[in-house]
Structure 1
Amino acid sequence: MFKRFIKKIYRCAKPIVVNGTDNKVSVGCKYSGFRLTILGNHNKVSVDKNCILNDTIINILGDDAIIEIDKNARLLGPCKITIVNGGKLYIGQNAGVRGVEFELGDGADISVGEYCMFSYNINLRNFDSHKIYQQGSDIVTNPAQNITIGKHVWICKNVSFLKGSSVDDNSVVGYGSLVTKKFPSNCVIAGVPAQIVKREINWGY
């Protein structure tokens, strides 16, 4: 009985817990405060060996989810990634991610380009959790939609991205913005909802 108790504690303390079939996990980097839980089938998690994973929690619930974190990406925490019923999260090379929550569902994707820089308290959510149907039918009126962040995008503190939104390369998203639609490259956007406030810009570290 004591051995079973110790085994149960060990299972709860393990940083990577996988339940299901045909799940593939490759976390090649060192980590601290990291936890990955998979409850489902045919899911794939791939983290390059040169990445940093600190204070990061990943929960996959359901089937057919993909997480790919490319080389030299830094998740410095606190970060949380949740995928429910499929979808792909891609974080590009040399991206710097601090206090960010990624919420994916219903097969829609989130993509973050290389050299992006995220501040704290940022949320990206590509689905609504609950479906809304057209009256008298089974037609869903609020389907999940992809979110795309281009290359070298600077995202300031307290920003939220809703489904279907995107920001193209070399742009800046101002403090406290709510991003609800698509924006071009080389611009500054800000506000609730976000609007373009400056064009033809670039930024440096």
Structure 2
Amino acid sequence: MEQLKLLINKLKNSPNKIRIAMVMGIAGMILIMISEVIPDKKRAPEPESGSETTSDEADTFRKSTENELRSLLEKIEGVGECEVMVSVEGTTEYVYAQNISRYTDEDADRKSDKLDENIVIIENSSGRQALVRRVIRPQISGVVVVCEGGGDIRVNERVLKAVSTALNISSGRVCVESKSK
């Protein structure tokens, strides 16, 4: 500790103290830059902007839609056992509730309108989280149904109508085929 005090006193009385301070400052900045470049092994890698979560949610949505549709179609007369594949576009999107306030700011010779938008945060037993106003599911882009009765034109038409009605998609996006034996 004594040596440190002596070193500081020498630096204070040195004619090159400005140069020494600059060198120490540059050395400090270099150390900071190096610490940002070298990865911290203790820190867990951050997921890329939630892309895994949203694709998992879209996959879950697709699979649950396929299961519900399969269950529904197998109850239709003549369909028999079937397999369903649903294609989706996009990912699950969340729309959060916001507090929006508008006000006019007037100075001596100018007037400006200002808008503040803040996401509503709620507290519950699991902590603080944003209030979700609406969840937008991925868009269904197509459906393929392979069923035992798919070769019969009447069954084919009933399946086509049921799928397009249940999923609110055009019948052109639905393909019904007969299952091979």
Which TM-score tier does this pair reach, normalised by the shorter chain? under 0.3
Give the TM-score of the pair, scaled to structure 1.
0.23
Per the normalisation by structure 2, the TM-score is 0.25
The structure with higher relative contact order (CA 8 Å, sep 6+) is 2
Q: Which has the higher strand share?
A: 1
Greater share of residues in helix: 2
Structure with higher Rg: it is: 2
